[in-house]
Structure 1
Amino acid sequence: MPSLPRRIREHAAALPEGAPICPHALLHMGNRAAVDQALSRLARRGQLLRVCRGVYVRPIDTRFGVRAPAVGTVISTLGALWGETIVPCGGAAANVLGLTTQVPVRLVYLTSGPSRTLRLLALTVRLRHAPRWQLVAPGQPFGLAVRALAWLGPQEVEDSLDTIARRLSATDLAELSAARAILPAWIAGPVSALVARG
């Protein structure tokens, strides 16, 4: 019978890129202590990457060498694993919407769960706990608008809303308007004024 580390390696190889490997999902292969020890050994050898406590991913072999799985893929699989909403930070949203030309240097995501740090080879990804209103509409343009406005702050909201309104569809603007009830007053007020102007 193959060794436990080898069986875990074979299991990991069959998983899609960025799929999390957790000790509790491997208990059919051995007891918890043995699984933990095998995972640690594989991580020390570089055959698995320890993302955070109790979560590993398989590194991707390319013709140029080994790389970490795509950050977006890892983030989405971790969000599903933990049952959390995880979205790009406001600075990244503002960049996508053309409100700033600055590209965030650090990888920061907002999460409904606790703040934590993830490691993917040389990359450090920070998950920062955020209030519910900043996590609205993950993956939708009007959710990006909310996060961008939160990042810009109260002084920039009114000037930035005109730029955002030109980039959002009528449906997205209607959804942003419908979300006013959960937004802070310093965002909801200017959004209401935008809606009133048509």
Structure 2
Amino acid sequence: MQQLTERILAHATQLPEGAPVSAKGLLHLGNRAAVDQTLHRLAARGQLQRAGRGVYVLPVEGRFGTRPPTVEQVVSAVAAQRGEVIAPSGAAAANALGLTTQVPVRAVYLTSGRSRTFKLGKQSVELRHAPRWQLTLANRPAGEALRALAWLGPERAEEALETLKRKMPSGAFGELVAVAPQLPTWLARSVGKAAYG
């Protein structure tokens, strides 16, 4: 058992910071039951941190002790590992673009996968399943604008689009206009109005 513990820790330290460790990815080191038990023990000892059901992360050693990896690192690693598209929620996007002064209290991300929640230290991170059109251009400025507009809703979209048209680089606004046919009718109409006025 000690050898399996060392091999799992050695494997975890080889991964990029924030990369999730799961039993499924460690089956080359031992049988499923042994790997599950070892992961559980490592988490109980604080050598790994449980991020969610069957998912662990290696804590980061810093000047002030250990801390969990950043939310962005873990979310990015989960997206790569599971083949999902994951992007910040519309509320976070609207705040980042200056369309609202509301600061999201919880970390919420939209995903093409199933909805779920995981913990990083004391912080809870929610992954919410979203329709495909909200994840279009996921990690591009136009995608951020798209999610912000979806969150603002039909009542505030046109006003926000005028602000975005002034603030965004023309290429990014052009990308938003180009995906308009994929959007819900209310949003496609608002984007078209802002673009061709």
Q: CA deviation at 1:24?
A: 2.1
Give the TM-score of the pair, scaled to structure 1.
0.95
Q: Does 1:22 align with 2:13?
A: no
**Could you tell me which residue of structure 1 aligns to residue 85 of structure 2?**
85
Aligned to 1:76: 76
Structure 1 residue runs without a partner (length 5+) = none
Correspondences of 1:122-133 after superposition (within 5 Å): 122-133=122-133
Deviating runs (4+, > 4 A) in structure 1? none
Q: What count of residue pairs does the alignment treat as equivalent?
A: 197
1:170 correspondence with 2:170: yes
Amino acid across the alignment from 2:84:
E
Tell me which amino acid in the other structure corresponds to 1:121. G
What is residue 54 of structure 2 aligned with on the other side? 54
Scaled by the length of structure 2, the TM-score of the pair is 0.96
Map of 2:43 onto structure 1 = 43
- Percent of counterpart pairs with the same letter? 55
Tell me how far apart the structure 1 counterparts of residues 155 and 183 of structure 2 sit (CA, whole Å). 16
Task: Describe the superposition over 1:30-84 as per-residue Cα deviations: whole angstroms up to 9, x where unpaired.
Answer: 1111111000100111111111222211001112011110110110110111111
Task: Render the CA deviation track for 1:123-162: whole Å, top value 9, x for unaligned.
Answer: 1000011111111111111101110011111100111111
* Rounded Cα–Cα distance in structure 2 between residues aligned with 1:80 and 1:10: 21
> How far 1:102 moved relative to its partner?
1.6
- Distance across 2 between alignment mates of 1:44 and 1:80: 27
1:65-110 residue CA offsets vs partner (Å, 9 max, x unmatched): 1111011011011011111110000011001111012211110000
Q: State the 1:2 CA deviation.
A: 5.1
Equivalent AA in structure 2 for residue 125 of structure 1: V
Q: What amino acid sits opposite 1:145 in the alignment?
A: A
Cα RMSD between the aligned structures?
A: 1.3
- Opposite residue 60 of structure 2, the aligned amino acid is I
Name the SS of the counterpart of 1:191 in structure 2: helix
Q: Which residue of 1 is the match for residue 140 of structure 2? A: 140
